[in-house]
Structure 1
Amino acid sequence: MSKRQLFTLEFPVRCSPTILYGFLSSPAGLQEWFADKVDEWEGVYSFTWGNAAPDKAEFLDSEEDKFVRYRWLHYDKNEYFEFRIEKTEISNQTILVISDFAEKSEIKDQSQLWEYQIKELFHRLGS
Protein backbone atom coordinates (compact mmCIF):
# COMPACT_ATOMS: atom_id res chain seq x y z
CA MET A 1 0.00 0.00 0.00
CA SER A 2 1.40 3.36 -0.95
CA LYS A 3 1.49 6.24 1.48
CA ARG A 4 -1.49 8.57 1.54
CA GLN A 5 -0.70 12.25 1.13
CA LEU A 6 -2.29 15.51 2.15
CA PHE A 7 -4.06 17.58 -0.48
CA THR A 8 -6.09 20.78 -0.25
CA LEU A 9 -8.94 22.32 -2.20
CA GLU A 10 -10.21 25.89 -2.07
CA PHE A 11 -13.74 27.11 -2.73
CA PRO A 12 -14.93 30.74 -2.63
CA VAL A 13 -18.16 30.95 -0.61
CA ARG A 14 -20.79 33.68 -0.54
CA CYS A 15 -21.83 33.58 3.09
CA SER A 16 -20.57 34.64 6.48
CA PRO A 17 -17.99 32.52 8.32
CA THR A 18 -20.47 32.08 11.19
CA ILE A 19 -23.15 30.50 8.99
CA LEU A 20 -20.60 28.37 7.14
CA TYR A 21 -19.07 27.17 10.41
CA GLY A 22 -22.46 25.86 11.56
CA PHE A 23 -22.72 23.70 8.44
CA LEU A 24 -19.21 22.28 9.04
CA SER A 25 -19.22 21.68 12.78
CA SER A 26 -22.65 20.47 13.90
CA PRO A 27 -24.39 17.16 13.19
CA ALA A 28 -27.47 19.01 11.91
CA GLY A 29 -25.36 21.21 9.64
CA LEU A 30 -23.34 18.29 8.27
CA GLN A 31 -26.50 16.29 7.67
CA GLU A 32 -27.75 19.09 5.41
CA TRP A 33 -25.04 18.46 2.80
CA PHE A 34 -22.33 15.94 3.78
CA ALA A 35 -24.17 12.71 4.66
CA ASP A 36 -27.70 11.37 4.76
CA LYS A 37 -27.58 11.04 8.55
CA VAL A 38 -25.12 12.43 11.10
CA ASP A 39 -25.05 11.63 14.79
CA GLU A 40 -22.54 12.60 17.46
CA TRP A 41 -21.77 10.84 20.72
CA GLU A 42 -18.89 11.88 23.00
CA GLY A 43 -16.88 13.47 20.21
CA VAL A 44 -17.38 10.69 17.66
CA TYR A 45 -19.47 11.52 14.63
CA SER A 46 -21.32 8.77 12.72
CA PHE A 47 -21.88 9.56 9.05
CA THR A 48 -24.36 7.39 7.16
CA TRP A 49 -24.92 7.33 3.40
CA GLY A 50 -27.88 5.34 2.11
CA ASN A 51 -28.25 1.94 3.76
CA ALA A 52 -24.51 1.50 4.36
CA ALA A 53 -23.01 1.03 7.81
CA PRO A 54 -21.98 4.35 9.38
CA ASP A 55 -18.48 5.72 8.87
CA LYS A 56 -17.14 7.11 12.14
CA ALA A 57 -14.91 10.13 12.62
CA GLU A 58 -13.44 11.58 15.77
CA PHE A 59 -13.75 15.30 16.38
CA LEU A 60 -10.17 16.53 16.86
CA ASP A 61 -10.18 20.31 17.17
CA SER A 62 -11.93 23.52 16.16
CA GLU A 63 -11.95 27.25 16.52
CA GLU A 64 -15.30 28.95 16.08
CA ASP A 65 -15.74 30.53 12.62
CA LYS A 66 -12.16 29.45 11.69
CA PHE A 67 -11.78 25.67 11.32
CA VAL A 68 -12.95 22.21 12.33
CA ARG A 69 -10.90 19.02 12.09
CA TYR A 70 -12.03 15.40 12.14
CA ARG A 71 -10.25 12.03 11.81
CA TRP A 72 -11.78 8.94 10.25
CA LEU A 73 -11.39 6.14 12.81
CA HIS A 74 -10.40 3.61 10.13
CA TYR A 75 -7.38 5.64 8.94
CA ASP A 76 -3.96 6.41 10.38
CA LYS A 77 -3.90 8.56 13.53
CA ASN A 78 -1.89 11.25 11.69
CA GLU A 79 -4.51 11.67 8.97
CA TYR A 80 -7.51 13.98 9.20
CA PHE A 81 -9.94 15.99 7.15
CA GLU A 82 -10.31 19.66 7.90
CA PHE A 83 -12.58 22.52 6.94
CA ARG A 84 -10.81 25.87 7.28
CA ILE A 85 -12.57 29.21 6.78
CA GLU A 86 -10.34 32.01 5.53
CA LYS A 87 -10.91 35.59 4.38
CA THR A 88 -9.00 37.13 1.48
CA GLU A 89 -7.19 40.32 2.43
CA ILE A 90 -8.10 42.46 -0.55
CA SER A 91 -11.72 41.50 -1.29
CA ASN A 92 -12.61 40.12 2.17
CA GLN A 93 -14.16 37.10 0.42
CA THR A 94 -14.80 33.93 2.43
CA ILE A 95 -12.80 30.90 1.25
CA LEU A 96 -13.47 27.33 2.36
CA VAL A 97 -10.24 25.32 2.38
CA ILE A 98 -10.61 21.55 2.61
CA SER A 99 -7.63 19.40 3.60
CA ASP A 100 -7.81 15.63 3.25
CA PHE A 101 -5.58 12.60 2.68
CA ALA A 102 -5.65 10.14 -0.22
CA GLU A 103 -3.43 7.81 -2.18
CA LYS A 104 -1.64 9.77 -4.90
CA SER A 105 -3.55 7.83 -7.57
CA GLU A 106 -6.88 8.66 -5.87
CA ILE A 107 -6.47 12.41 -5.31
CA LYS A 108 -8.30 13.32 -8.52
CA ASP A 109 -11.29 11.11 -7.64
CA GLN A 110 -11.31 12.29 -4.03
CA SER A 111 -11.18 15.92 -5.23
CA GLN A 112 -14.16 15.32 -7.51
CA LEU A 113 -16.09 13.80 -4.61
CA TRP A 114 -15.36 16.90 -2.48
CA GLU A 115 -16.41 19.16 -5.37
CA TYR A 116 -19.73 17.31 -5.58
CA GLN A 117 -20.21 17.61 -1.81
CA ILE A 118 -19.38 21.34 -1.85
CA LYS A 119 -21.92 21.94 -4.63
CA GLU A 120 -24.51 20.42 -2.30
CA LEU A 121 -23.29 22.67 0.53
CA PHE A 122 -23.55 25.75 -1.71
CA HIS A 123 -27.07 24.71 -2.71
CA ARG A 124 -28.05 24.50 0.99
CA LEU A 125 -26.39 27.85 1.69
CA GLY A 126 -28.12 29.47 -1.28
CA SER A 127 -24.66 30.45 -2.51
Structure 2
Amino acid sequence: MSNKIKYEMEFPIQASPSLLYQYLSTPSGLSEWYADNVNSRGEIFTFIWEGSEEQAKLLSKKSDERIKMRWLEDEEEGNSYFFELRIQVDEITKDVSLMITDFAEDEEEVNEGKMLWENMISDLKHVLGSA
Protein backbone atom coordinates (compact mmCIF):
# COMPACT_ATOMS: atom_id res chain seq x y z
CA MET A 1 0.00 0.00 0.00
CA SER A 2 1.60 3.25 -1.11
CA ASN A 3 1.68 6.30 1.06
CA LYS A 4 -0.39 9.13 -0.26
CA ILE A 5 1.00 12.62 -0.71
CA LYS A 6 -0.47 15.33 1.49
CA TYR A 7 -1.03 18.70 -0.15
CA GLU A 8 -2.47 22.02 0.97
CA MET A 9 -4.02 24.94 -0.83
CA GLU A 10 -5.14 28.41 0.16
CA PHE A 11 -7.93 30.39 -1.44
CA PRO A 12 -8.83 33.98 -0.49
CA ILE A 13 -12.61 34.19 -0.12
CA GLN A 14 -14.64 37.34 0.30
CA ALA A 15 -17.24 36.10 2.76
CA SER A 16 -17.74 36.04 6.48
CA PRO A 17 -16.49 32.92 8.29
CA SER A 18 -20.02 32.11 9.49
CA LEU A 19 -21.49 32.28 5.97
CA LEU A 20 -18.60 30.33 4.49
CA TYR A 21 -18.94 27.66 7.17
CA GLN A 22 -22.56 27.01 6.13
CA TYR A 23 -21.30 26.06 2.67
CA LEU A 24 -18.65 23.73 4.11
CA SER A 25 -20.62 21.92 6.77
CA THR A 26 -24.20 21.43 5.62
CA PRO A 27 -25.51 19.08 2.90
CA SER A 28 -27.43 21.93 1.26
CA GLY A 29 -24.37 24.16 1.31
CA LEU A 30 -22.02 21.47 -0.01
CA SER A 31 -24.42 20.56 -2.82
CA GLU A 32 -24.11 24.15 -4.11
CA TRP A 33 -20.46 23.72 -5.07
CA TYR A 34 -18.85 20.44 -4.03
CA ALA A 35 -21.17 17.79 -5.44
CA ASP A 36 -24.40 17.55 -7.41
CA ASN A 37 -26.22 16.37 -4.32
CA VAL A 38 -25.25 15.76 -0.71
CA ASN A 39 -27.13 13.91 2.02
CA SER A 40 -26.13 13.28 5.60
CA ARG A 41 -27.25 10.83 8.22
CA GLY A 42 -25.50 11.32 11.53
CA GLU A 43 -21.79 11.61 10.84
CA ILE A 44 -21.97 9.98 7.39
CA PHE A 45 -22.16 12.29 4.37
CA THR A 46 -23.12 10.92 0.96
CA PHE A 47 -21.80 12.88 -2.03
CA ILE A 48 -23.42 12.31 -5.41
CA TRP A 49 -21.88 13.25 -8.76
CA GLU A 50 -23.41 12.35 -12.14
CA GLY A 51 -24.21 8.78 -11.28
CA SER A 52 -21.39 8.07 -8.86
CA GLU A 53 -21.69 8.12 -5.11
CA GLU A 54 -19.04 8.44 -2.40
CA GLN A 55 -19.47 8.44 1.35
CA ALA A 56 -17.39 10.23 3.92
CA LYS A 57 -17.35 10.19 7.70
CA LEU A 58 -17.31 13.44 9.61
CA LEU A 59 -14.23 13.31 11.83
CA SER A 60 -14.48 16.72 13.48
CA LYS A 61 -15.88 20.16 13.02
CA LYS A 62 -15.67 23.49 14.75
CA SER A 63 -18.29 26.10 14.06
CA ASP A 64 -17.14 28.86 11.68
CA GLU A 65 -13.64 27.34 11.64
CA ARG A 66 -13.20 23.91 10.09
CA ILE A 67 -14.65 20.61 8.99
CA LYS A 68 -12.66 17.39 8.58
CA MET A 69 -13.85 14.22 6.84
CA ARG A 70 -12.52 10.83 5.80
CA TRP A 71 -13.75 8.86 2.81
CA LEU A 72 -15.35 5.60 4.00
CA GLU A 73 -13.16 3.70 1.55
CA ASP A 74 -10.10 4.90 3.48
CA GLU A 75 -11.84 4.26 6.79
CA GLU A 76 -12.55 0.66 5.81
CA GLU A 77 -8.96 0.12 4.66
CA GLY A 78 -7.66 1.49 7.95
CA ASN A 79 -6.10 4.54 6.31
CA SER A 80 -5.83 7.77 8.24
CA TYR A 81 -6.16 10.02 5.17
CA PHE A 82 -8.66 12.86 5.39
CA PHE A 83 -9.68 16.09 3.76
CA GLU A 84 -10.07 19.25 5.75
CA LEU A 85 -11.61 22.61 4.93
CA ARG A 86 -10.38 25.27 7.32
CA ILE A 87 -11.35 28.92 7.51
CA GLN A 88 -8.46 31.23 8.31
CA VAL A 89 -8.91 34.88 9.23
CA ASP A 90 -5.98 37.30 9.15
CA GLU A 91 -5.88 38.98 12.56
CA ILE A 92 -4.90 42.36 11.17
CA THR A 93 -6.62 42.67 7.78
CA LYS A 94 -9.53 40.35 8.66
CA ASP A 95 -9.11 38.79 5.20
CA VAL A 96 -10.71 35.35 5.01
CA SER A 97 -9.00 32.38 3.37
CA LEU A 98 -10.14 28.82 2.88
CA MET A 99 -7.36 26.33 3.56
CA ILE A 100 -7.73 22.91 1.92
CA THR A 101 -5.80 19.85 3.06
CA ASP A 102 -6.14 16.71 0.95
CA PHE A 103 -4.22 13.60 -0.10
CA ALA A 104 -3.40 12.05 -3.47
CA GLU A 105 -1.76 8.86 -4.73
CA ASP A 106 1.05 10.51 -6.72
CA GLU A 107 2.27 13.82 -8.14
CA GLU A 108 0.00 13.53 -11.17
CA GLU A 109 -3.01 13.01 -8.92
CA VAL A 110 -1.89 15.93 -6.76
CA ASN A 111 -2.04 18.15 -9.85
CA GLU A 112 -5.44 16.75 -10.82
CA GLY A 113 -6.69 17.23 -7.27
CA LYS A 114 -5.51 20.82 -7.21
CA MET A 115 -7.24 21.56 -10.51
CA LEU A 116 -10.42 19.98 -9.20
CA TRP A 117 -10.30 22.06 -6.00
CA GLU A 118 -9.64 25.22 -8.04
CA ASN A 119 -12.73 24.53 -10.13
CA MET A 120 -14.87 23.75 -7.09
CA ILE A 121 -13.67 26.82 -5.17
CA SER A 122 -14.41 28.90 -8.25
CA ASP A 123 -17.98 27.55 -8.09
CA LEU A 124 -18.10 28.29 -4.36
CA LYS A 125 -16.98 31.89 -4.90
CA HIS A 126 -19.64 32.23 -7.59
CA VAL A 127 -22.32 30.94 -5.18
CA LEU A 128 -21.06 33.32 -2.47
CA GLY A 129 -21.20 36.19 -4.95
CA SER A 130 -17.49 36.92 -4.45
CA ALA A 131 -16.17 35.69 -7.78
For this structure pair, what is the TM-score category when the shorter chain's length is used for normalisation?
over 0.9
After TM superposition, give the deviation of residue 92 of structure 1 in Å. Answer: 1.2
Matches of 2:42 and 2:84, distance apart in 1:
19
From 91, 94, 103, the equivalent of 1:92 is 94
Letter in 2 for 1:92: K
**Root-mean-square deviation (CA), in Å?**
1.1
User: Which stretch of structure 1 is more off in the superposition, 81-90 or 112-121?
Assistant: 81-90
Aligned pair count reads 126
1:74 match = 73
Matches of 2:7 and 2:60, distance apart in 1:
19
Unaligned runs of 5+ in 2: none
Letter in 2 for 1:64: S
8 Å contact from structure 1 (residues 69, 82) kept in 2: yes
1:59 match = 58
After TM superposition, give the deviation of residue 42 of structure 1 in Å. Answer: 1.8
After TM superposition, give the deviation of residue 90 of structure 1 in Å. Answer: 2.9
So what's the TM-score if we normalise by structure 1?
Answer: 0.95
Matches of 1:42 and 1:25, distance apart in 2:
13
State the 4+ residue runs in structure 1 displaced beyond 3 angstroms.
none
Matches of 2:93 and 2:50, distance apart in 1:
40
8 Å contact from structure 1 (residues 71, 77) kept in 2: no
Letter in 2 for 1:40: S
So what's the TM-score if we normalise by structure 2?
Answer: 0.92
2:40 match = 40
Letter in 1 for 2:35: A
Letter in 1 for 2:42: E
